Amino acid sequence: MKTEAQSNKVNLKLFKDLSAAKKNPSDCQSSTGPMAYYLTRLKTRQTYSWVGKPLLDQKLHYQTYKEICVKIDGCSDIHIQVGQFVLIEGDDEENPYVAKLIELFEDDGEPRSKKRARVQWFVRFCEIPVCKRHLLGRKPAEQELFWYDYPACDSNVSAETIIGPVQVVALAPDEVLPMDLKNEKTFFVKLSWNEKSFKPLSPELFAELDKPKEGSPKCQKPIEAKTKGVESPSSATTEQVVKRIELRHSASKSRQTPRAVTPTARKRLELGSVPGMANTRNSQQPSCDSLGSPGRTKKKVASSEVTLPSKRSHPDRMDTASPTLRGPQKTGKVQLICTQGENNKASYERHRNLRTRVPPLRSTEISDKRTLCPVGGGQKSSTVPSVILKPENIKKREAKEPEALNEASSTSHRVRRRSSLLTLNRIRQQLRFLDNGKCDQEEEEFLPTAEISVSSSDSEQEEVATPPLTRRAPRSVSRNLRSTLKLSLEIPSKTPQKTPKPRTPFRATPQIRSRKLAAPGPSNVLEEARLRLHVSTVPESLPCREQEFQDIYSFVESKLLDHTGGCMYISGVPGTGKTATVHEVIRGLQQAALTNDVPPFQYVEVNGMKLTEPHQVYVQILEKLTGQKATANHAAELLAKRFRTQGSSRETTVLLVDELDLLWTQKQDVMYNLFDWPTHKEARLVVLTIANTMDLPERIMMNRVSSRLGLTRMSFQPYTHSQLQQILASRLKHLKAFEDDAIQLVARKVAALSGDARRCLDICRRATEICEFSQQKPGSPGLVTVAHLMEALDEMFSSSYITAIRNSSVLEQGFLRAILAEFRRSGLEEATFQQIYSQHVALCRMEGLPYPTMSETMAVCSRLGSCRLLLVESSRNDLLLRVRLNVSQDDVLYALKEE
């Protein structure tokens, strides 16, 4: 899910480079390629060492420590003490785990790493199973964590997985979560999560978390020392600023790099603040700051201070409390990060300050947004049937700035994707606006790169501002567009409206607009029956599938209890309740999990028919499991990694694959992977597959695939007539809308035909309609009788060919007769058009009718062909085109004779 955010950033970065190169050529000498930057990163090594005397734990015979020192490449070291909050390497490099250090000790029994740490976990919102995220009931704040109250979770980790310290602030239940903080290294805890529900923190826990850690003022000493110097802009060295910038962009950077690195090496990328790794890539940006003379910077500070409150409301959003700090704005911000350990209390207060400051600023910004795209807003014009108003402004803007477009198109060879081009465009335009705006303010020494960094961080913030839940794949592009569009409008807007409006979701989830008028409830028995008979209605119980339900339930339950994985193959013709039964099983298990009868599990469902291509299944599974968004290949890698490596607190995953046969590929790699994952011990994956054919494994699967699928199979037999009757009866419980005979009739008819429950329900629904139409006086709904049902059955199953022939024109009927005559003459089932035409002419002569011309007859022939009463070749064969009947000759004769 960071990829989209990242793509935006890539654009911005690219543009930054471009514009820097263009406008400030002197400032970008120090920039080198991203590759160099990456390599310096990789080379860093971390060494972990204990600080202080070991204390011997009497009971466990461990040596415990109070403090650990992390040395990075020998240059600087971070001291982390027990009781501090730390980041710990996890599966997701962007979002390392957050935990509180409880204990540090040395364990000789561990093979891999002797330095161990005991932690209390926190979970991020994105780590919570997708299916349970709704339990929160609100949107999570961007930096929100949850106290992980789940004892089963392994709290013993290797100390060497610790990345670095982080700040966690506990909030009382009545406190408001700060929504838009720039400090990425500060998290907030308000609720606890115990795999079932969110609960407020208990008072004692809160007190424990909330109290500032006096015991840890010394951590990060070296950095602190350096950052102190930074406070005066003149003394800032390039290197340090680089580090700071790197810190901010670290998340996005690590994504761009190739993936072929060992997990631990990759984890370290997170360590943005580590000294000794000069980020040369972004150096043009800070170098503006550092190269500029102090006086120059001050000038800028002064002017921006003046213009700040009214003209540019957004930049100080990312600023800390006092506007005077704004001049070295980045410094101020980074300072916040670096010195967090030192003056915890102070920064905490600062946050509080921020919190109080934020709301009005936020609201002005939002009012801008609202004018732009009132997504999900209540104000929709009733006449326009559109779901969401379009941001028309894009076009206007583009029209306004044709030169900008030209300029952008000249650079288009560098930017592949159109969306990124557009994004680039917008930024460019925005810059123009900015330029103009700045000129108005008589700001001569305007630094373009600095401004861009403001806007980029703004957009970053936009990215972060939305909770992970809403970060869904398909919006990635439009979102980029919108965020940049917003930027372009936000920045030039000089008079933000002050009217505070309720926050509108920046990126609403995809949705069809809701209806204006409420749907009326059923007004009579027939309507009620129709409602209940609709296939979409989910019944409380699934009659006639008790045995299958039990089998699947016990299968999944046993796997859950054993913490193992397995596969099951379910087959049956359409409409026999396969998917419904599995859904029912899952619902039952989820309820059981709530009452702790079975361990909690994650449920993911994919449908082969809802994919454009078999490999997309990886993307869908990954997205539903983690909310992450990746390409098919990457998703496959991530999933394989996930299912093949030991997870610390992994719960079992239940995967339902519907319409399995559509996942067939030439190499069968998709099926292979799906069935291979559960065989790994760590995967804890239960795969339930559904398809129509019973012998699918034998028919289309290679041996190695079908062998992994195993022999746990189940087949759903078509419903018998008594079962169908039971299903109808259970749906129509206590509702006298049908005659008993009528129900029996339809059950028997459908059972004889296909045993498809959907058909059965559809027929009954149609019968209620017919009954209602035939009812003369409204208000007295009658019973659906056998006659009504017969009519519905006729409508749905009667062959339409005969009626079509009967209703065709005289000429068409004549032509059909000629075909029959020709077939009889030749003894074949096929004839050329010429032969039939001569027959037709002969027949017409016999009956004394004027015979039609060749062209007319041809038209008749193609008309019958388009109805598929005849099967004809393409008409370019003209006289020689071959004609066949699509109906049996007897049917044609029967239809023609009737009259």
Partner 1 sequence: MSNRKSKNNNLMHAECLSQVQRILRARFCHQNPHSNLFGVQVQYKHLIELLKRTAIHGESNSVLIIGPRGSGKTMLINHALKELMEIGEASENILQVHLNGLLQINDKIALKEITRQLNLENAVGDKVFGSFAENLSFLLEALKKGDRTNSCPVIFILDEFDLFAHHKNQTLLYNLFDISQTAQTPVSVIGLTCRLDILELLEKRVKSRFSHRQIHLMNSFGFPQYVKIFKEQLSLPAEFPDKVFAEKWNENVQMLALNRVTASHPFVTPADLMEANQLCSMDSKANIVHGLSVLEICLIIAMKHLNDIYEEEPFNFQMVYNEFQKFIQRKAHSVYNFEKPVVMKAFEHLQQLELIKPIERTSVNSQREYQLMKLLLDNTQIMNALQKYPNCPTDVRQWATSSLSWL
User: Between residue 401 and residue 460, which ones bind partner 1 under the rule CB under 8 A?
Assistant: 419
Contact characters 470-509, partner 1, x per CB under 8 A? --xxxxxxx--x-------------------------xxx
Q: Applying CB under 8 A, which of residues 341, 575, 678, 718 lies at the interface with partner 1?
A: 575
Edge-to-edge, what's the strand order for the sheet holding 67-72? 46-51, 67-72, 76-81
**Is residue 665 part of the contact set for partner 1 (CB under 8 A)?**
no
Q: Applying CB under 8 A, which of residues 42, 131, 841, 893 lies at the interface with partner 1?
A: 841
Amino acid at site 44:
T
**Residues in 511-570 that interact with partner 1 by CB under 8 A:** 511-520, 522, 527, 530-531, 534-538
Q: Diameter of the chain by CA atoms?
A: 120
Q: For partner 1, which is the closer residue by CB, 128 or 887? A: 887
d(CA 687, CA 556): 9
Q: Applying CB under 8 A, which of residues 26, 58, 379, 612 lies at the interface with partner 1?
A: 612
* Pair 242, 282: CB distance under 8 Å: yes
Q: Applying CB under 8 A, which of residues 800, 826, 875, 888 lies at the interface with partner 1?
A: 800
- Find the shortest distance in angstroms from Cβ 732 to partner 1: 17
**Is residue 879 part of the contact set for partner 1 (CB under 8 A)?**
yes
**Is residue 795 part of the contact set for partner 1 (CB under 8 A)?**
yes
CA angle 549, 555, 559 (to 5 degrees): 145
Q: For partner 1, which is the closer residue by CB, 29 or 888? A: 888
- Find the shortest distance in angstroms from Cβ 398 to partner 1: 10
- Find the shortest distance in angstroms from Cβ 753 to partner 1: 11
Edge-to-edge, what's the strand order for the sheet holding 713-716? 601-607, 652-658, 685-691, 566-572, 713-716
Q: Applying CB under 8 A, which of residues 869, 872, 883, 895 lies at the interface with partner 1?
A: 869
Ramachandran angles phi, psi of 335, nearest 5°: -55, -40
H helices of 563-615, in order, are 578-594
- Find the shortest distance in angstroms from Cβ 62 to partner 1: 50
**Residues in 109-168 that interact with partner 1 by CB under 8 A:** none
**Is residue 724 part of the contact set for partner 1 (CB under 8 A)?**
no
**Is residue 610 part of the contact set for partner 1 (CB under 8 A)?**
yes
**Residues in 350-379 that interact with partner 1 by CB under 8 A:** 375
- Find the shortest distance in angstroms from Cβ 408 to partner 1: 16
- Find the shortest distance in angstroms from Cβ 839 to partner 1: 12
Strand partners, 170: 189
Q: Identify the H or E element spanning 865.
A: helix 854-866
Binding-site residue total for partner 1 (CB under 8 A)?
95
Q: b or e along 412-432 (b: 16 or more beta carbons within 10 Å of the residue's beta carbon)?
A: eeebeeebbbbbbbbbbbbbb
Q: Applying CB under 8 A, which of residues 36, 804, 821, 896 lies at the interface with partner 1?
A: 804
Q: For partner 1, which is the closer residue by CB, 218 or 797? A: 797
Q: Is 588 helix (H, G, I), strand (E, B) or coil?
A: helix
Give me 673's structure tokens: 């992977």
Strands, DSSP E only, in 241-362?
none
Classify 318 in phi/psi space as left (phi over 0), alpha (psi -120 to 50) or beta.
Answer: alpha
- Find the shortest distance in angstroms from Cβ 315 to partner 1: 27
- Find the shortest distance in angstroms from Cβ 801 to partner 1: 6
- Find the shortest distance in angstroms from Cβ 419 to partner 1: 6
d(CA 550, CA 523): 38
Q: For partner 1, which is the closer residue by CB, 322 or 509? A: 509
**Is residue 752 part of the contact set for partner 1 (CB under 8 A)?**
no
Amino acid at site 29:
Q
d(CA 596, CA 499): 49
Interacting residues of 587 by C-beta distance below 8 A, sequence separation 6+: none
Q: Is 228 helix (H, G, I), strand (E, B) or coil?
A: helix
**Is residue 573 part of the contact set for partner 1 (CB under 8 A)?**
yes
- Find the shortest distance in angstroms from Cβ 796 to partner 1: 4
Q: For partner 1, which is the closer residue by CB, 704 or 806? A: 806
d(CA 112, CA 157): 11
* Pair 571, 713: CB distance under 8 Å: yes
Strand partners, 71: 47, 77
Q: For partner 1, which is the closer residue by CB, 37 or 837? A: 837
**Residues in 692-711 that interact with partner 1 by CB under 8 A:** 692
- Find the shortest distance in angstroms from Cβ 880 to partner 1: 6
